[in-house]
Structure 1
Amino acid sequence: MFDLDRWREIFQSINKNRLRSVMSGFTVAFAILLFTLLFGVVSGLSNSFTSAFSDDAQNSMFVRVWKTSMPYKGLQTGRTVQLKNDDYNFVTEEYESKIQYQSARIYKNFTLKYKNEASSYSVRAVNPDHQFLEKTIIDEGRYLNERDLKEKSKVIVIGRLIKKDLFGEKPALGKRLNVNGSSYLIIGVFSDEGGDNEERLAYIPVTTAQMMYGNNDYISQINLGYNPNLSLDAAIAFGNQMERDMRKRLNIHPDDQSALSVRNMAEANKGVGQFMGILYAIVILVGSGTLIAGIIGISNIMIFVIKERTKEFGIRKALGAKPSSIVGMVVQESVLITTIAGYLGLSLGTYILSLIGNSLEEDYFIKDPSVSTGIVIGATVVLVLSGLIAGYLPAKRAANIKPIVALRAD
C-alpha cells in the first residue's frame, strides 16, 4: 500500500542530504548516459548497413560472367564467356526448390525521346520477377508480366525521374516513347529506394531485347532470390554449389575468379550480422561494466549514509519498528534516486543522439542513431534492480543491528 508518511521521510532525507543524493544519482545517470550513447551509435551503424542493401532484396544472388584469365580444357586465356537462355533455364530447373524469384538481365543504353525532349538512359531487359528482386515500387500502371515476354511486346516501364525529365508534370502512362528509334508503350512508372540513379532506369521485356537488338539468346546476368526459408549457411552453400555447377557448364577453371562471380547477399548478411553481434557484445560489456561501477558507487554512498543514520535506526527499533520497515524505507529511497537519475541519463543520451544524428550520418555514415523501445524498457528494469541491489544489502545489515548497539554508534 501507498505509505504517505514513509514517502515524506524519504523526501526529507533526500532534501537534508542533497549533495549525497546528487552524487548517488550522478553515478547511475552517467552509466545510463554512456550506455545509451553506445547503443545508439551501434544502432546507427546497423541502420547504415541496412540502408546500403535496401535497394535489393535481402535474399538476392547475382551471377555475372566476363573474360577468362586462366586456360582450361584446351581453351585459351581471354575467352569471352557468354550466358544464354539455356543457362538461365538450367538454373531454373536444377534449383527450382531453392529459388523464390528469378530474372535474366540485359544491359543497354538508349536514347529515350518524347516529342522535343530526349536524353540517354540505362535500359534493362528483365523478367517479371525482377520487380521483387530490385524492390521496385510501381507508382502508376503495372510492371512487366509473362504475357509481355511471350509476345515479345514493345512495352516499357520508366523510372519516376525519367517521367519528370521527359514529361514534366504531364501524364506518361499510355504514351508512346521513342526508344532508340523504336516506339514503345509506357505501361508503368516506378520509384525506387535506391535513389536518383535507380529512378532514371527503364525496364523492357528480355525477350523483346533479344529479338530487337541482336536477334540472339544472349543475357548479361542471372539474378536470383533464394528461398527465404533457407538459413544463411544453407543459402551460402547453395550459392557455392551453383557457382561450381556454372563453372563446369561454361568451361571455366575452378580458380578463375575473373571469368565468373556469384554475389550472394547471404554472405554479406552473415558478415554484417557477425560484425554487429561483436559490436553489440562489446557495447553490452562496456555498458554493463559502467553500470556495475555505478551500482557499486551508489552502494558505497548508501553504506556511508546508513552508517550516519545508525542511531536513527536504533531509535526506530527501540520504538518497535520492524527491520523490514527500515529496509523498505532505505530501498525505496535508493530505487527512487536510481530511477530518477537513470531516466535523466536516458533522456539526455536520447537528446544528444537526436542532436548529433545528422552530423554522424554525414561524417561517419552512422544513420539515425537511436535507442529502441526494447532497450529503454530493459534499461528501466536494470535501473530498478540496481536501486534494489544498491540499497538492500547495506540496509539489511543495518536493520539487523541490536537497538542498544545502534544507540552507542558514533
Structure 2
Amino acid sequence: MELLNEIWQTARRNKLRTGLTGFAVAWGIFMLIVLLGAGNGLINANMTQMNRFLSNSMVVYGGETSMPYQGMKEGRWINLKARDIDISSEEFQTVIDEVGAQYRTSGMVSNGQQYLTGSIAGVYPNHIKIDKVEMLQGRFINTIDINGKRKVLIISNKQAKELKTHVGQFVKVGNFAFKIVGIYKEQENGRADMFSAYSTIKSIYGAKTDDAGRIEFTFHGLETEGDNEAFEKDYRQRINTAHQAHPDDESAIWLWNRYTQNLQMQKGIGIIRTALWIVGLFTLLSGIVGVSNIMLITVKERTHEFGIRKAIGAKPWSILKLIIIESIIITTIFGYIGMILGIAANEYMDATLGHTKVDAGLFKATMFLDPTVGLDVCFEATMVMIIAGTIAGLIPAFKASRIRPIEALRAD
C-alpha cells in the first residue's frame, strides 16, 4: 500500500509526463482495436454474402456473342434451350451432380383484397440447396410437382404476412389458382422471389418458346482454380457449339461459378487480414515507441531522486521494483481505457454503418457487419504494451540503480 501511495504521489507531481505516457498507451490500443474491428466488419459482411449460396454450384445464363462464327456476325443473343439442360446432365456426369433450371416471370398474386406483384421463379427441387432456402413452414418443390405440373407456390414469410395467407390456402396467380405449400425465411439482404415448379411456370408462361431460362447445377471434384477453369472451358465450348457460337467466345454464355468466387473472396479476405495486422502492429509500435521514450525520460529525470534513495539506504531492487510497478500500473490502466474506447467505437460503427445496405441489383448487400475484436487480441495487445513499457524503463532504471549515490546526486 505504501508503494502504491508513493506511485500515486509521483504521478500527481508529474501529471504531464503521466498523461503523455497514458495517451501513448491508450492511443495504440484504441487504434489497433478500431482497425481490426473495421476490417472484421468488412470481412463478416462479405462472408455473409458468400454463405448465401452453395459453394459448389454454378448458374448458367444466356449471353451475347462477341465473335463472328460460321458466317454469322457477333452481337447475336444466345438463349439457353431445353437441350442445354440435357447436355449438362448427360455429357458432364463425371463432374455435375444435379441439374436444374429457373424460368422466371413476374405476376400479381392475390388473396381476396390483398395482393402483391413480384418475381415468380419456376425451379427444380435442387434450388433449395443451391440458394440455401430456409423453410419455415410446409415444404419446397418436389419431383411430383415437376412431373405433374402442379400449381403450387412457395412464398416468403413477409409475403405471407402481406397476403394474409398460410400453408394450405389457395391464392390467385394471374388467372390461375395456386396452392401455398411452403413458406420460407426471407433474407434481410435479398430480394424475395416466389417459387413454383419449373414445368408449371414454363407451361403457363413459356409454352410458346423453347427457351429454358437459366441452368443451375451442383458439382464435385473441382478443388482448384485450375480444375474449375478447365471445366468451364470445356462446358462453354460444348454449349457454344450447340448454339453455333465460337467455342472460345466467353460472352456467348455466362457462368457464375460460386466455388471460384469463394476462392477469390478467401484470397481477398486473407490479404485484408494481413494488411490490417501490418497496419495495426505499426500503430501499436508507434504507441510502444511513445511509451519507451517517455519511460526513458522518466528514469533520466529521476536519477537524482534515485541517488538520494540510495544514499539513505535504499536497495537497488527497491528502485527497480518502483519503476516496474509504476510502468505496469500506468500502462494497464490506460491500456484498459484504450480498449474500452476501441470497443465503444466499434459498437458505434456497427450501429451506424452496420445498417447501411447497397443495392447490388440481384440483392441488397450489407457492407459492414459485426465489427468486433476478440478479447484475447485486446488482452495480448495490452500485454505487449505493458511489457514494452516495462522493458523500456527497466534498462535505464537498472543502470540508475547501480550508479553510485554521489554520481547520481551530481546528475542534472
TM-score range, shorter chain: 0.7 to 0.9
Give the CA deviation at 1:259. 2.0
Q: Within the alignment, does 1:293 sit opposite 2:286 as a pair?
A: yes
Give the CA deviation at 1:188. 0.3
Give the CA deviation at 1:23. 1.1
Match of 2:130 among 129, 133, 136: 133
In structure 2, the partner of 1:177 is 171
Distance 1:62 1:324, change over 3 A: farther
| Distance in 2 between residues matched to 1:324 and 1:42, nearest whole Å | 44
CA RMSD of aligned residues (A): 3.5
| Distance in 1 between residues matched to 2:60 and 2:122, nearest whole Å | 16
In structure 2, the partner of 1:112 is 109
Match of 1:45 among 38, 42, 45: 42
Indicate the larger mover: 359-368 or 149-158: 359-368
Give the CA deviation at 1:105. 1.0
Give the CA deviation at 1:305. 1.7
Deviations 1:341-397 (A, max 9, x none): 122122223223333544435499752462321542442333333333333333333
In structure 2, the partner of 1:208 is 200
Runs of at least 5 residues in structure 1 that lack an aligned partner in the other structure: none
1:381-392 alignment, distance < 5 Å: 381-392=383-394
Match of 1:61 among 32, 55, 58: 58
Indicate conservation of the 8 Å contact 2:327/2:386, yes or no.
no
Match of 1:14 among 4, 11, 16: 11
Letter in 1 for 2:368: K
| Distance in 2 between residues matched to 1:240 and 1:375, nearest whole Å | 45
| Distance in 1 between residues matched to 2:373 and 2:402, nearest whole Å | 42
Q: Within the alignment, does 1:122 sit opposite 2:114 as a pair?
A: no
Deviations 1:184-230 (A, max 9, x none): 221101122154731xx211122333444428874211223455983
| Distance in 2 between residues matched to 1:346 and 1:296, nearest whole Å | 18
Match of 2:345 among 332, 352, 362: 352
| Distance in 2 between residues matched to 1:380 and 1:100, nearest whole Å | 51
In structure 2, the partner of 1:284 is 277
| Distance in 1 between residues matched to 2:27 and 2:110, nearest whole Å | 62
Q: Within the alignment, does 1:88 sit opposite 2:85 as a pair?
A: yes
Give the CA deviation at 1:143. 1.0
Deviations 1:153-177 (A, max 9, x none): 33221223332333x2xx4211223
Indicate conservation of the 8 Å contact 2:299/2:393, yes or no.
no
In structure 2, the partner of 1:343 is 336
| Distance in 2 between residues matched to 1:112 and 1:408, nearest whole Å | 94
Indicate conservation of the 8 Å contact 2:64/2:251, yes or no.
yes
Give the CA deviation at 1:141. 0.7
Query: Aligned to 1:230, what secondary structure does the other structure show?
Result: coil
In structure 1, the partner of 2:297 is 304
1:325-404 alignment, distance < 5 Å: 325-360=318-353, 362=356, 366-368=367-369, 370-373=371-374, 374-404=376-406
| Distance in 1 between residues matched to 2:91 and 2:277, nearest whole Å | 45
| Distance in 1 between residues matched to 2:383 and 2:77, nearest whole Å | 63
| Distance in 2 between residues matched to 1:370 and 1:232, nearest whole Å | 30
| Distance in 1 between residues matched to 2:221 and 2:12, nearest whole Å | 60
Give the CA deviation at 1:260. 0.6
Letter in 2 for 1:353: N
Query: Aligned to 2:85, what secondary structure does the other structure show?
Result: helix
Match of 1:161 among 158, 161, 179: 158
Indicate conservation of the 8 Å contact 2:88/2:99, yes or no.
no
Give the CA deviation at 1:292. 1.9
Structure 1 vs Structure 2: percent identity of aligned residues?
Answer: 32
Letter in 1 for 2:389: G
Letter in 2 for 1:204: S
Indicate conservation of the 8 Å contact 2:23/2:334, yes or no.
yes
| Distance in 2 between residues matched to 1:289 and 1:178, nearest whole Å | 63
Indicate conservation of the 8 Å contact 1:39/1:283, yes or no.
yes
Distance 1:389 1:238, change over 3 A: farther
In structure 1, the partner of 2:363 is none
Query: Aligned to 1:61, what secondary structure does the other structure show?
Result: strand
Indicate conservation of the 8 Å contact 2:100/2:124, yes or no.
yes
The number of residue pairs the alignment matches comes to: 402
Give the CA deviation at 1:261. 0.7
Indicate conservation of the 8 Å contact 1:161/1:196, yes or no.
no
Distance 1:195 1:368, change over 3 A: closer
| Distance in 1 between residues matched to 2:65 and 2:367, nearest whole Å | 39
Query: Aligned to 2:216, what secondary structure does the other structure show?
Result: strand
| Distance in 2 between residues matched to 1:384 and 1:276, nearest whole Å | 31
Runs of at least 5 residues in structure 2 that lack an aligned partner in the other structure: 359-365
Letter in 2 for 1:388: T
Letter in 2 for 1:390: A
Letter in 1 for 2:46: F
1:194-343 alignment, distance < 5 Å: 194-195=188-189, 197-198=191-192, 201-212=193-204, 213-214=206-207, 218-227=211-220, 230-231=223-224, 234-235=227-228, 238-314=231-307, 323-343=316-336
Indicate the larger mover: 241-250 or 341-350: 241-250
